[in-house]
Structure formats: C-alpha cells, structure tokens
Amino acid sequence: MSIVPPRLRSLLEGDSPVPRAASLFVDAGYECYLVGGSVRDALLEQSHTDIDLATNARPDEIERLVRGWADSVWLQGQRFGTVGCEVDGTRLEITTFRTEIYRPESRKPEVRFGDDIETDLSRRDFTVNAMALRLPDPELVDPFGGIADLAARRLRTPLTPEVSFVDDPLRMMRAARFIAGFGLEPEPELVEAVHRHAHRLEIVSAERIRDELSKLLVVDEPAAGLWFLSTTKLADEFLPELNAMQLEQDPIHQHKDVLAHTIAVVGNTRPELLVRLAALLHDIGKPKTRSIGSDGVSFHHHEVVGGRMARERLAALRYPQTFADDVVALIDLHLRIHTYAMGWTDRAVRRYARDAGPLLDDLNHLVRCDCTTRNRRKAAALDRRMDELEARIATLRSQEELDAIRPPLDGRQVMVLLGLEPGPQVGRALDFLLEARLDEGPIPTEEAEARLLAWARDEGLAD
C-alpha cells in the first residue's frame, strides 16, 4: 500500500464500504478511484460525509454491479453518468469517467464518457478537486498539482480557466465558495477569466445559482467569496443589488460604505442560511431611498423598499415562498429596535414579539449583528437596548402567552355574539380585540365580550 494521509486511510479500513465497492468493480475488470471532495477534505484533515468514486464502467454497468449489493440505489443522475447508492449508512456516488460536460451555447449538460482517469480529472473544476486515489490498493493520482496548490492555498483550474468555465459556468461562482471556505487565493488568470466570462452565467439555471449562493453564505467566513463576486462583477448576473450598494460618496455628506457594511454583517451572523441571506439583503433598499437634506444623508423606509426588492430577487432565484417570507420579515423588522431608544411600552414589546413570531430569536440576532460601528459608545448603547428589550420580553413571556398573542375571542365566538356571517366585519371585530390585547395584555372572556358589544354598537353592527 502506498503512503496515504491517515484520514484517507480511514476510508479504506475497518467497516468502510469503499474498499468493498472498489473490489466489486476491479473484480469485474474495471478501474475504480476515490475522487473529488473526499480526497481534498481528507488531505485537509476535514470530514467529508458523501463518498465520490469514478470508474471506466458505463452507467448501466454501474447499476448492474451495485444492484443487490447496496442497500438502496438511485438513478436520478444516471444520464449524466452518476449512480447513487447507500451501503451500511454510507452514501456513495459512482460516476463514469468523463471527457466533456457542457456545450458553450447550451443550458443542459452534454456528458461524454471517457476511458481514463487523467482525462476525467482534467475536466474537473479546480486542481484541488482534480486528485484521485486508485483503489483497492491505494495510489495517489495528482496530475495537475492539487496537493501543491492545497499547501500553497492557491486556486487554479486543471486546464485553462476558459475551458473550465465553458464546461460549466457555475464554476465561476464555485470559485467564490472555495476562496472563502478553504482560504484559497485565486490565480490572476482565473480572476481575469471570470471578468471576461461572467456573462456566461446566463445559461445556468436559477436553481443551480441559488444552491451555489446558499453554499457560499453558510461557510464560516464568507466575506472573501462575496468580495470576489463583487469585484469580478459576477454578482451582477444574478444579484445586481449587491454592487448597487457601492454608493458614490458625496464629498460633503458622507456615510458608511453600504456594501462593506453589508458584507461585514453577513460575517457577523451565525452560519445559518436564513439570517445570512437576510443580512445580505437587509440594506438593498438604501440606494433607492438615499436622500440628502439639512440633517445629512438619510435612507428613510429603506427596510420597506428593501423587503419588496428582496422578495422579487428571492423569487427570481427560486427560493421557496415560505423561506422568502421569513427573509423579508426579518428585513422589514430589522430597524424596529431603534425606536426603543425612546422607551417602549408593554404594548410595543408585545407587538414586536407578535410581529416577529417564531423569527424573534433570528431577528434579535440580526439586529445585534447589524452593528458594525467602530464607535464603542454607540455599540455599547445598542447592546444595552437589546439586553433591556430581551429582558422585557422574558418578563412578559413569564406573565402571559407572549409567543401566541391572539384576540381574546376567536372568529366563531365573534360571529355567535354579534350574529354575523363570515366576512370582513368579523375581521374588523378581531382586529379591535387584538389591539386591546396588545395594549393591555390578557383580557377575561366576559370583559372581552362586553367590550366587543360596545364596539359593535358604535360601529352600527349591533343594537
């Protein structure tokens, strides 16, 4: 056995299904290699859950060999050369060697199968992914210097960047994730190629772009990747709002760099997609709302405008509707805390908690992370306000059902009491009761009924 890194060896020993899969193919007269992220992450001493194998067996033959051996098999990627299976809880993806992936003018991958591992590796995205481990007797195959590039923290493509990005333009976005996620420095030729070919992203589906953006946003430190998308203008192809936040500074009425602030806020938040995406989009309304008056620069109602813009962009990127609703809610509410500087009544605290609903913790987290000022006094003041607000919420929560504020009567009770049929008048009555609940806290049923009857008489809904 050749000397291989300990973490790679762990994939090949004990109860691992990898050597058994390799033997399955080698015994049938085929080659088998561990490839891609499995090799890269093992060399970096990082864990990697899914296992990628490559072989010269064609997809139909891969399916034939794993049927009856694997616990389950799936064929969604078979026309692109990939057969997936699971063995003893480990997921394997087994792919036929490839020679080409895309045609320049097509949105659809056109896969051509190959017969040797070096050609297959040459068509992969980056050299750090273009390494393989021959199985079952391990031998490292690294024809493009991936190990050296990992050691040097360098991002290169196996062939020219143009060839790589024509094969799959999404690789330009993936470069941003590798820059951020692995701390790699892109070669100048790669950066120049992204500048030249950014427009090629137009042939990539919105769903694939969405998924790659989401993966970038949840790496530990996404800032370098976001700056790469910005400086290469790649973001203009799918998220033009990003570079729009590079507002030209008025020499007299200056304000902080909105784009730099935004990227800093994204980095401040925990690596969860919802809060990271809300952080990325929370100030996109500022360019449209910037005005200069006697008090300087202002961005009145940028959260409202930004919420609408975010909804449109998230729809274009095919994010699920309910997820987009949550992102927009966080954007709409992220400035509410600043009114707390003047003091909040119990009613205002109840409304804040009710409007945030299950997003309350995420909202408070985003608000804290939105503070990027270097002024320690201002930062400390915001922290105090947030601490006070959260303490007020905790106090009210212990006294009443703050997480489920609703009118003291339901729709059915309103209709029975007022003799109404379902319709807008019932909604008005419930709104009246909800406002009373927010103002005063819990209201006993009898008192709520008396108030509703009095309100209905004033509104001409009851005698």
pLDDT given for residue 384 in this prediction? 84
Residue 239 or residue 8, greater confidence? 239
Percent of the chain with pLDDT over 70: 88
Domain shared by 157 and 201, yes or no: yes
**Residue found under tokens 């009567």:** 409
Q: What is the pTM of this model?
A: 0.82
Q: Is the pLDDT of residue 3 over 60?
A: no
Instruction: Flag whether 1 is in a domain.
Output: no
Percent of the chain with pLDDT over 90: 52
Instruction: Flag whether 463 is in a domain.
Output: no
- The mean pLDDT value for 361-383 works out to 86
Instruction: Flag whether 425 is in a domain.
Output: yes
Q: What is the pLDDT of residues 122-145, one digit of tens each?
A: 999 999 999 999 998 888 999 999
Q: Is the pLDDT of residue 267 over 60?
A: yes
Instruction: Flag whether 346 is in a domain.
Output: yes
Q: Is the pLDDT of residue 251 over 50?
A: no
Return d(Cα 86, Cα 88) in angstroms, integer.
7
Domain shared by 87 and 68, yes or no: yes
The DSSP secondary-structure symbol of 290 reads -
- Listed residue (238, 234, 326, 225) closest to 267, CA to CA: 225
The last residue of a domain, from among 385, 403, 421: 403
Residue 87's CATH number = 3.30.460.10
Q: Is the pLDDT of residue 253 over 60?
A: no
Domain shared by 215 and 337, yes or no: no
Instruction: Flag whether 298 is in a domain.
Output: yes
Residue 375's CATH number = 1.10.3210
Q: Is the pLDDT of residue 215 over 90?
A: yes
Domain shared by 300 and 425, yes or no: no
pLDDT given for residue 241 in this prediction? 95
Instruction: Flag whether 244 is in a domain.
Output: no
Q: How many angstroms separate the Cα of 420 from the Cα of each of 142, 157, 411, 417, 444? A: 77, 70, 10, 8, 22
The last residue of a domain, from among 94, 116, 148: 148
In which domain, by residue range, is 297 found?
Answer: 250-403
Domain count, the chain: 4
Return d(Cα 182, Cα 360) in angstroms, integer.
32
Return d(Cα 347, Cα 335) in angstroms, integer.
18
Domain shared by 292 and 382, yes or no: yes
Domain shared by 141 and 159, yes or no: no
Instruction: Flag whether 325 is in a domain.
Output: yes
Domain shared by 86 and 23, yes or no: yes
Instruction: Flag whether 79 is in a domain.
Output: yes
- The mean pLDDT value for 171-180 works out to 97
Domain shared by 220 and 351, yes or no: no
Q: What is the pLDDT of residues 94-123, one digit of tens each?
A: 999 988 666 656 556 677 898 999 999 999
* 200-204, 249-253, 254-258: range with lowest mean pLDDT: 249-253
Domain shared by 51 and 182, yes or no: no
Residue 172's CATH number = 1.10.110.30
Domain shared by 54 and 84, yes or no: yes
The last residue of a domain, from among 403, 421, 439: 403
Domain shared by 138 and 161, yes or no: no
Domain shared by 37 and 97, yes or no: yes
Long-range contacts formed by 162-167: CB under 8 A, 24+ apart: 162/193, 162/196, 162/197, 164/125, 164/126, 165/193, 165/194, 165/197, 165/200, 166/102, 166/104, 166/197, 166/200, 167/100, 167/101, 167/102, 167/123
